[in-house]
């Protein structure tokens, strides 16, 4: 086990407090990158003590493999207006950073008031992402599953994060 259920719960609560302080005014929209973020996003939204809205993006760069293909396909994007809103893109894990960089460019083109990233896990192998504002944990360079993270759609249900190997 890499991160147990209790450690995750404590860190998500702390992130919720950090985000609450960082966004005292304006409309806050959490955009979750599905599917991996759904557990984290649900817990995070409940930990943020301010009004907010939630929407989702669906992008694919892995398929059934363990390594990103590098090709980002956008399968669903928010239909709500993004202009003049604080937008926080919520991600489960940052590996190469290519998917996030591509998505941030797309979101930025829609004129948000502010745009930042909140990631549960950062492997710190990507080039620094200037928009990465909130991070739960530094992750080891392993293929991680649980708490929403999967391998070929398996293991998302685990309440902790573990190394697949």
Q: How far apart are CA 114 and CA 111, in angstroms?
A: 8
Q: How far apart are CA 113 and CA 55, in angstroms?
A: 17
Q: What is the DSSP letter of 106?
A: H
**Two tokens, residue 5:** 């259920």
Annotated catalytic residue 43? no
Q: Considering the candidates 43, 95, 122, 150, report the single residue annotated as catalytic.
A: 95
Beta strands, E only, the chain:
28-34, 53-60, 73-76, 86-94, 114-122, 132-138, 144-145, 162-163
**Two tokens, residue 116:** 């930042």
- Tell me the catalytic residues: 95
């Amino acid at each position: 086990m890499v991160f147990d259920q209790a450690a995750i719960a404590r860190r998500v609560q702390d992130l919720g407090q950090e985000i609450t302080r960082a966004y005292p005014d304006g409309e806050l929209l959490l955009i979750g990158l599905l599917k991996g973020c759904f557990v984290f996003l649900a817990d995070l939204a409940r930990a943020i003590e301010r009004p907010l809205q939630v929407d989702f993006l669906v992008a694919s760069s892995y398929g059934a493999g363990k390594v990103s293909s590098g090709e980002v396909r956008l399968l669903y994007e928010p239909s709500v207006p993004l202009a003049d809103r604080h937008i926080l893109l919520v991600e489960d894990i940052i590996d190469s950073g290519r998917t996030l960089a591509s998505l941030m460019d797309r979101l930025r083109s829609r004129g948000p008031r502010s745009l930042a990233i909140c990631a549960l896990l950062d492997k710190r192998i990507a080039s620094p992402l200037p928009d990465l504002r909130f991070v739960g944990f530094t992750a080891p360079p392993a293929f991680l599953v649980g708490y929403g993270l999967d391998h070929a759609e398996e293991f998302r249900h685990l309440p902790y994060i573990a190394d697949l190997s």
